[in-house]
Structure 1
């Protein structure tokens, strides 16, 4: 399954998609906050969001799966 991973350790500031949304390669799907900076996490593939594995305010580590696509 294609998925979107956190590229940095931080806190989920905002989730930009919902289950069932279609995303294109390069779309920002989650915004992470790290060291007082907002960092968009972009999808590396096109697909449909099938699962969201994070919640706003959650601490995540680099490499954690945030979004699963189908």
Structure 2
């Protein structure tokens, strides 16, 4: 299982995937908004989206787990 972890504090602007989606390494999963910039967070490995731990509009901190893949 791999986890997508936020690398900064910001708001979840958009969730690009849904539960059960197959994703490839490097594919965007979440887009954060921080300091009026949109930052894409991509999967570090291929897998299937097992759990999405945030909702659009949520504020997240650096180190928070956003998505789990299996």
The TM-score bracket by the shorter chain reads over 0.9
- TM-score normalised per structure 2: 0.97
Q: Specify every segment of 5 or more residues in structure 2 that has no aligned partner in the other structure, as ranges.
A: none
TM norm structure 1 = 0.97
List 4+ stretches of structure 1 deviating above 3 A. Answer: none
- The within-5 A match list for 1:1-40 is 1-40=1-40
Q: For residues 3-31 of structure 1, give each alpha carbon's deviation from its aligned partner in whole angstroms, at most 9, with x where no partner exists.
A: 10111110000000000001111000000
2-structure distance, mates of 1:65, 1:58: 13
Match of 1:66 in 2: 66
Between the two proteins, the alignment pairs up a number of residues equal to 70
Give 5+ residue unaligned stretches, structure 1.
Answer: none
2:48 match: 48
Cα root mean square deviation, aligned: 0.5
Give a deviation string over 1:22-66, Cα, whole Å, max 9, x none: 111100000000000000011101000000000000000011000
